[in-house]
Structure 1
């Protein structure tokens, strides 16, 4: 059997598996696959953070310590059976924290309540994978596999490739780099599984079959993730130094409240939020209640929309104090990009 045939078979199988997983994730209209009691949690505040992990790793204790919300804690597995929400007020932002029921192997295949857990995890701005310091690497790999299987890409950026369907002309494959994973026949085999016979595929890096499948599927979530290694009071300093080499890692002891401030600071960093202070005309800026926007959507127009959807209609110009402008204040338009802790005064049309 040629190596090309084997590679084609692998790519074809990956595409088929991705389709099956997508069908698993898509809710049916006939009931029986609903969110389940306790999973219909309304998104509130400025951001949502999800606690994901195996049973009894300390997620409920962590939620209780950070938010004061009561989530039942016990020394046996599967205590948390519903999604428990809590709220953290941090640097003026209201952050919703969800304690999701413990993930087990096979969650992506519908075992336990994993399907509801992962569906909720997809709505989070940051995911905290809570690991037991005694067996962190094994659990880390298993949970990553479950989340990946449901289209959640942790600490990754979307593939830098272009996929465009067209009416005729067959499959056209171009690349600006040397490819070690994809060629025209492999691309055709993957597209065929999705009944796509006419498309342009253009690569700007050495993409894999999984990357192409992700772009064709189009339902992937790219989510920042922090690996919260709990119960570090139960391991040696040497073991802690080994764990310290993990990327995106934060060591804590929820029970003893060790390094919870460090965890909150890291969550803030990964949320990548921007605080904008309002200044009513003739008054001092309101430093107590900032308007929170994403660093990816931080124009004056985005700021106005966060306050009220009709504010842009009345907008004339804005006065801005802070690091985003050269002069204090500076008159700007609605397309101006703000920076963290800028002060803004909106001047409305008369």
Structure 2
């Protein structure tokens, strides 16, 4: 029996099984088996190599990589053309874009690499069209723009989320804070920092047993469900922020826009008419969660044209700032002068562990 047939059978069994306390352990065991089959299927496809297709191996450049995901003809290529100096073919028929078309946007001192990906269809995660190639590129992105036709946003949104989820991409989620340590003997020790309302000890043991984990210490630092526990065990999930770009708002009324704009993490635009593209860039920046830090050479004014871009979470330190500039810089680091909201005095002398805020200015003093 093929992996695809086994996956279909398990999905069908999960769908027809009533969900209650008595069936919880069985359902969780099925989900664990399903996750393993999907992992093995993806791994086998990777080993085969398969037709990679020209244009999908795009070198990562800039401070962030942003992928455009959406159904055919929702306006991804038009959006890329308007936001960058790149040309991506636009036409009135579906599947105009057949490869990954990159472009660069400079915004607030950061270089953002935009990737116009071919349109995906339902069943992309199972290999339909070029779905797996598209989703594999999406796994490498810092942010995903899910471009939706505002006339049918919810229908497309749910399908795309299901396709990405099936390939191990979790949108706008934080990784579960579950610590799993395998050991040679001693059985299973389960602990938690808060009451577990979605899992019980028997269900946890059933899931772990499906993975042949019979001796381990597991700590839940939050109230998580079976799917999140399976994600931790699998260990190959990626957690990526996403913005739902509601395109073609020129074709609907204000009242209709008010309804569809209730989608979380949304940004309404009209790529064809250049409506709210500045707002989209602002939304992208907010979801990337970046901070800009400026260098100040001794006796000179700060360089505001080339900021050092770091993630806001975890909060950057002087050490991470130095490491971003050059990996050897910390070997000669003595202390730093900092101007900005992270210090009480302007400037203030700080060490390598000092926490930095957005738009701080730093002058690094090296050992003689």
Does 2:226 align with 1:203?
Answer: no
For 1:315, the equivalent position in structure 2 comes to 333
For 1:108, the equivalent position in structure 2 comes to 125
- Measure how far apart 1:107 and its partner are: 1.2
Does 2:363 align with 1:345?
Answer: yes
Does 2:179 align with 1:159?
Answer: no
SS in 2 for 1:303: helix
Aligned residues: 350
Alpha-carbon RMSD across the aligned residues, in angstroms, is: 1.8
For structure 2, which runs of at least 5 residues remain unmatched after alignment? Answer: 1-16
Q: TM-score, normalised by structure 2?
A: 0.91
For 1:289, the equivalent position in structure 2 comes to 306
Q: Distance in 2 between matches of 1:144 and 1:28?
A: 21
For 1:18, the equivalent position in structure 2 comes to 35
Contact 1:128 1:225 in 2 (8 A): yes
- Measure how far apart 1:171 and its partner are: 2.3
For 2:231, the equivalent position in structure 1 comes to 214
For 2:63, the equivalent position in structure 1 comes to 46
Q: Distance in 1 between matches of 2:51 and 2:208?
A: 31
Q: TM-score, normalised by structure 1?
A: 0.95
Does 2:249 align with 1:257?
Answer: no
Among 315, 318, 321, which residue is 1:303 paired with? 321
Distance change >3 Å, CA 179–CA 307, structure 1 → 2: closer
Distance change >3 Å, CA 162–CA 34, structure 1 → 2: farther
Q: Distance in 1 between matches of 2:25 and 2:232?
A: 18
For 2:349, the equivalent position in structure 1 comes to 331
Contact 1:179 1:207 in 2 (8 A): yes
- Measure how far apart 1:342 and its partner are: 0.9
For 1:143, the equivalent position in structure 2 comes to 160
Q: Distance in 2 between matches of 1:187 and 1:127?
A: 32
- Measure how far apart 1:333 and its partner are: 1.2
For 1:182, the equivalent position in structure 2 comes to 199
Q: Deviations over 1:177-235 (max 9, x none)?
A: 44343222211221122111112233343321101101111111111111000000011
